[in-house]
A and B are shown apart, each in its own frame.
Chain A
Amino acid sequence: MPALRAVGVRDLLDEALASVLARPSRSALTVLGTVLGICALVATLGVSTTAGHQIVGRLDELQATEVVAEPAGGSGFGAPPVSELPWDIEDRLERLNGVVAAGGYANVDVGDRLVSSFLIERLTRDLSFRLRVVAATPGLFEATRSTLSSGRTWDAGFSEREDRVAVLGRAAAERLGITDVAHAPAIFVGDEPFVVIGILDELAREGDLAAAVLIPEGTARGLFDLGAPSRLIVDTELGAAPTIAAQAPLALIPNDPDQVRVTLAQAPRGVQAGIESDVQALFVTLGLVALLVGGIGIANTTLVSVLERVGEIGLRRALGAGRSEIALHFLAESTLLGFVGGILGASGGVIVVVGFAASRDWVPVLDPWLAPTAAVGGAAMGLVAGLYPALRAASLEAAEALRSG
């Protein structure tokens, strides 16, 4: 008694491949719809991820993650504000979910004191400068995404101890002739000495601080006349800015949040992204329609091929194929067509995305799973398309198939 057996997978694929290749131009035309559908889908999704990554690139990203808080401007002209912004900005804001860094600053009223890198200020007025002196909290450096060309910045401890340290903006350092902090250079604001512990290279935000001398807020209060912070900068996670903007006033002045004016850099791409998503929906729809047409094409060709190849089906039955093996054979053919269409379509889609990105000097961004998923999706569609023709083929009576073939 012969054991139950199924035809080997390799034989099945070989037979399906041979049948598909036996009619190359028909197979190519059949696959075309699937190729177009998959290509449209991959291209649309790829172009939109590429564009999406472009939107959150560099400048846009900087704007989308920035929140600025300022005093609302007082209750009347000239009158002092009822409530002032606090200096413990980091404590109040960094516990909000989505805040990366926060800090604030205010100009220090230094009267007519000049800033010099020499003690002999009064003798050499030419080497002394009228520089902006700014009191800042330690979080400001990170919140403005500053980089240092030399040294370090201060932390909360310096401010509490009222340490006489300063960080110079790049332009201020140039004027004072200080290039690095290796030998702990000193500067004088009037008669007050400060040790320069760091020199800023770039400030991504609040670029005008490059011309200022920054000192810890605690130190400034002890030595000079210092009011409330005039500007608070918050660096947020991507997408968190609107939420932070809504929460910040209450966190800063809980009993009078109206005194805080919050500005959110409006992402200029917002509207454009909306348009893009409409276009994207259109292309995805077109892609799905093309895919459906492609699937119908495969189903149709496979069905025609079943009807044309009745004799071959009879022969295969005579050679020992069971009904299930006949069904599997035609399923393998349609799946193969779908798979090839999927691969070609995915490749075409990737080419479109790369070409599109190149034409705009963008970096193409593709989900690494997109192309394999598309190819497998094509195969799955081919499988579904082959179901009915395969059942038709399997239901043929062997004897009749042989006679009519």
Chain B
Amino acid sequence: MLLEGVSRTFETEPPVRALRQVDLTVDEGDYAAIEGRSGSGKSTLLNILGLLDAPTEGRYWLDRADVLAQSDSERAATRARRIGFVFQSFHLMPHRNVLENVMLAGVYSRMPRGERIERAESVLQRVGMTHRASFVPTQLSGGERQRVAIARALLTHPRLLLCDEPTGNLDSRNTATILDLFDELAADGLTLIVITHDELVSRRARRRLVMVDGMLSEQPRRLDEPA
């Protein structure tokens, strides 16, 4: 993944320059945390990385493809098959149970129906939520909801997992469970980019990036930290 001189300006009054000349290279299997103050442009960057938004300036290659030159449906297909999203507010469908929520990711990736159930059961097992498969989201705790959302993101075997403050609504114990899960996923070779305010979260990542007023910089790893 390669970003070159990416800027994003919102044409509001006055215009907001949310990203300014961001350069970023992320290798396959990287585990990066992005920190920064509120309003610094972290979510904006993540949306661009996830092909949900387009920069006003700059270039972006994903898997050696110039994704900005692609059509809406080509980018949608890339999101469906290569990219998983995890949000602070979970975004689970309230009227559907855990299994159905997870299987929803299979609809737009054109996963065969038979495969969807099997795959959903296996990712639910992975996040340890098999015993809640028939519950609806309102019957789950925050940590459980986030694990279901992660299971949904993993359904289609994505290569890139983008997480926007995944532990923002969770207590420390639930946070620890999610972070253990991230460690396992990173160990399996999944590329992870996690936005966070939480020192605890960013310390677990292999790379730490800091966003200040739309500008991104790499923070050198401190010596006392585990590699």
Contacts and interface: CB of A to CB of B under 8 A. Distances in A.
B123 to A, nearest CB: 14
A15 interface: yes
B185 interface: no
Given A1-B65, A399-B52, A318 B85 contact: yes
B104 interface: yes
A170 interface: no
Nearest to A403: B43
B109 A397 contact: no
Contacts of B72: 322-324
Interface string A314-356: 1111111111110000000000000000000000000000000
Contacts of B82: 2
A402 B74 contact: no
Given A7-B108, A15-B107, A320 B96 contact: no
Contacts of A319: 79-80, 85, 104-105, 107-109, 152
A317 B52 contact: yes
B53 A11 contact: no
B91 A317 contact: no
Which label, helix, strand, loop or mixed, suits the secondary structure of the A interface?
helix
A2 B53 contact: no
Contacts of A325: 76, 108
B12 interface: no
B107 A2 contact: no
A11 B79 contact: no
B77 A5 contact: yes
A403 B53 CA distance: 12
Given A7-B107, A7-B110, A320 B91 contact: no
A276 interface: no
A311 interface: yes
B171 to A, nearest CB: 24
Interface string B33-69: 0000000000110010010110000000000010000
Given A5-B110, A7-B110, A316-B108, A321 B76 contact: yes
B122 interface: no
A311 B96 CA distance: 15
A18 interface: yes
A322 B72 CA distance: 6
B73 A402 contact: no
A402 B87 contact: yes
A58 to B, nearest CB: 58
B95 interface: yes
A312 interface: yes
A324 B95 contact: no
B140 interface: no
Nearest to A323: B72
Contacts of A2: 74, 77-78, 80-82
Contacts of A403: 43
Nearest to B110: A5
Q: Find the residue from A317, A319, A322, A398 having the highest chain B CB count within 10 A.
A: A319
Nearest to B47: A399
A310 to B, nearest CB: 11
Nearest to A11: B107
A271 B193 CA distance: 82
A398 B53 contact: yes
A405 B95 CA distance: 16
A59 interface: no
Interface of B: 43-44, 47, 50, 52-53, 65, 71-82, 85, 87, 89, 91, 93, 95-96, 100, 104-105, 107-110, 113, 152, 156
- 8 smallest CB-CB distances across A and B, nearest first, come from A320-B80, A320-B108, A322-B76, A22-B95, A2-B77, A399-B47, A399-B53, A398-B52
Interface of A: 1-5, 7-8, 10-11, 15, 18, 22-23, 311-312, 314-325, 397-399, 402-403, 405
24 contacts: A1-B74, A4-B77, A5-B73, A7-B107, A7-B110, A8-B110, A11-B113, A22-B96, A311-B91, A315-B93, A316-B108, A317-B52, A317-B79, A318-B79, A319-B105, A319-B108, A320-B79, A320-B81, A324-B72, A398-B52, A399-B43, A399-B52, A402-B52, A405-B89
